[in-house]
Structure 1
């Protein structure tokens, strides 16, 4: 649930909805790019998709945006702990049919009040799946990104977005093709977005990439199972090259006082811990004593006299 501080920040801060959550508009711009590629793969005519607006409205105002007979589809957004809506009108559907099947756009305006045909319904299903995939790609760098389609509603009912007076963030995409412009609204409950108020109020972070939560969990599980090798090091007094060269099998080297409490445990080239050396049930043991940031050097003792070779 969003904090009361987040709610007050959104309601009282100045500027438009786009000003308050600029990263949402940035993400919608990436959604438009992703959808552009998917649209072009099926289209017989050129088209350009872009973000037209980011605004807010009440749930009971949604029907007024695209009119009666408009399509409302539902997408699950598990990473946002909510469901979101996709809304477009009848003319949008006809435009998509003609763009993909080679029409000239002459009959688009006359289709506003026509019922959806079986072909239209198939096109609607393709559009919903394309938008679901595009939303996943567009939001991946900013928020947990995974959307699953529940399909088109048989009867227009936006109550899944909240109470009639609940606020909804509306991201509008515009498709320019066949000499006209048609629109799609992405409808997200404001309460779900307030959970990510800080992320959406910050500039884009190219290093933050969110994917499907299921894939992320699987990756983390596999990484946790990866085999790694640890190496334990004991710091001795500095020795001269002559002393080292004279070492022989069986020779005893006197350890510095307290050396058993300064065993460095490494993974790769990174120092991880300082450990104490001990024994238990006939085995040597290491007890983690300190997490290392920077290993403090061992104080230099008096130099060992050089042995003559």
Structure 2
């Protein structure tokens, strides 16, 4: 009886998967796909900054479902497609760049400034353009793996690239699949990138894709973070040493005259406040060194505590 029950449960699961494969996944019930593809575009743009002087912008345009044949037919003779093996999924994924994307990325990587008119040519892709596409495929494979790590870990290994969509086969051409389309812009030009994933690859993880994961920390590029930290540390900051502050009325200020003496409550042991942009930072002891005034830091100022103390003392 136990064996029959286990067999029946397994049969029901397989039957349910076949039914889902034939009818198509409901994208409305897979909100995590939007999060993953948004994340992929962000990661790719961050990596691309290290390759070119001109920035590129990438945004998720749509996520649609359809048959592989119908999807690829729209890009026939107008795109380069990369076929990837998703190792842990035991499936294949296709990433494609349309003609405008390839031309734009080639211009950016070769140092163009955007003053030349966009290329409008139906010629075959050159060797350089094909190499640019291959380099972009390698970047996208890394971005895909990092983005999908929210729900599953898999490697995307580039097997080959194709310029004819008839040869960009990743399964039965009438199989259901999901396609994510991205708008990419650079140098006042742009193009389209698309990612095609067979539904059979997504069905096993549909439960994880049905709920949005928000606890994942933001992906950080160590090189980019280090560069930002370096630039911030080189920023110039002005400091002011304040011995004492006095509050006076406008009338008292108006009666001040040249030669008049203003009495201070401070003495030689009074701590000097070191400020930056009117914000107190340190308390220092005033002294002399080589004939000049000097400051020795005595304590760090807790701004929140000191503000409260200042309010209570008034």
Shared fold by TM > 0.5?
yes
SS in structure 1 of the partner of residue 151 of structure 2 = coil
Does structure 2 retain, via aligned residues, the 8 Å contact 1:161–1:168? no
- Alpha-carbon deviations, 1:169-189, whole Å to 9, x = none? 101122122223311111100
Which stretches in structure 1 are left out of the alignment for 5+ residues? 209-309
Does structure 1 retain, via aligned residues, the 8 Å contact 2:104–2:190? no
Partner residue in 2 for 1:239: none
- CA RMSD, 1 decimal: 2.6
* CA deviation after TM superposition for structure 1 residue 205, in Å: 5.6
TM-score between both structures, scaled by the size of structure 1: 0.60
Does structure 2 retain, via aligned residues, the 8 Å contact 1:95–1:105? no
The equivalent position to 1:108 in structure 2, one of 114, 118, 135, is 118
Which stretches in structure 2 are left out of the alignment for 5+ residues? 1-9, 218-314
TM-score between both structures, scaled by the size of structure 2: 0.59
Does structure 2 retain, via aligned residues, the 8 Å contact 1:31–1:138? yes
Partner residue in 1 for 2:184: 175
Q: C-alpha separation between the residues in 2 aligned to 1:140 and 1:52?
A: 22
Partner residue in 1 for 2:257: none
Partner residue in 2 for 1:161: 170
CA pair 164-108 structure 1, distance change in 2 beyond 3 A: same
Q: Which runs of 4+ in 1 moved over 4 A?
A: 6-13
Q: C-alpha separation between the residues in 2 aligned to 1:5 and 1:66?
A: 33
The equivalent position to 1:84 in structure 2, one of 78, 83, 93, is 93
What does 1:15-164 align with in structure 2 at a 5 Å threshold? 17-103=26-112, 104=114, 106-111=116-121, 113-153=122-162, 155-157=164-166, 160-164=169-173
SS in structure 2 of the partner of residue 54 of structure 1 = strand
- Alpha-carbon deviations, 1:248-269, whole Å to 9, x = none? xxxxxxxxxxxxxxxxxxxxxx
SS in structure 1 of the partner of residue 39 of structure 2 = helix
Partner residue in 2 for 1:273: none
- What is the number of equivalent residue pairs in this alignment? 205
CA pair 207-181 structure 1, distance change in 2 beyond 3 A: closer
